Amino acid sequence: MQRLWSPWRSQYVSEEPESRECIFCEFPRDRDDERNLVLYRGERTYAIMNRFPYNSGHLMVVPYEHTGDLTEVAPETLAEMMALVQRSVAALGRAFRPDGYNTGMNLGRAAGAGVADHLHIHVVPRWVGDVNFMPVTADVKVMPELLADSYRKLRPYFDGSLPDERGG
């Protein structure tokens, strides 16, 4: 399990200059969702693709509220976070057809949180056998075009512009 979670460590820390504001507060303030890879905006939370994905389709569910303390989060926000994880799993299932998912939070730097001051839930699609190709460091860079492709493939499943295929 430890190896599974370690690739998420410090991915943003190494990328963002110290002086910058919190990226999880910045992205939703900007209107350019495609550039920022914001997939969905809810009332209290939003979904955004991870720029340093552990796997294709790796995304994060983030509250708008700036806090790194799970015990401070309002129940309504917690409920919407989990509802958006559910929506994310549904969207990923239709867009990428993975065999499974990992989803969870790294609370605090000691636990591997790259951005420890702003909570986020990782949602990572998994495929049988992908463990064999697991990167051993977080330095693996993904081509921006591939991220944009994944974004364009995934987003319609969030905004409802594609039919719901479940049950059909």
State the minimum distance, in angstroms, from the CB of residue 154 to Zn ion: 23
Cβ-contact 12, 114 below 8 angstroms: yes
Give strand ranges (E) for the chain: 38-41, 45-49, 59-63, 100-104, 121-126
Q: Among 58, 118, 120, 122, which one carries the catalytic annotation?
A: 120
Residue nearer to Zn ion on the CB measure, 72 or 139: 72
Binding residues (CB under 5 A) for Zn ion: these are 22, 24-25, 66, 118
Residue nearer to Zn ion on the CB measure, 46 or 157: 46
State the minimum distance, in angstroms, from the CB of residue 22 to Zn ion: 3
Nearest in space to 60 (alpha carbons), one of 74, 71, 70, 46: 46
122 annotated active-site: no
Nearest in space to 25 (alpha carbons), one of 61, 60, 66, 59: 66
State the minimum distance, in angstroms, from the CB of residue 50 to Zn ion: 16
Residue nearer to Zn ion on the CB measure, 22 or 90: 22
Torsion of CA 66, 59, 38, 95, to 10 degrees: -150
Catalytic residue annotation: 120
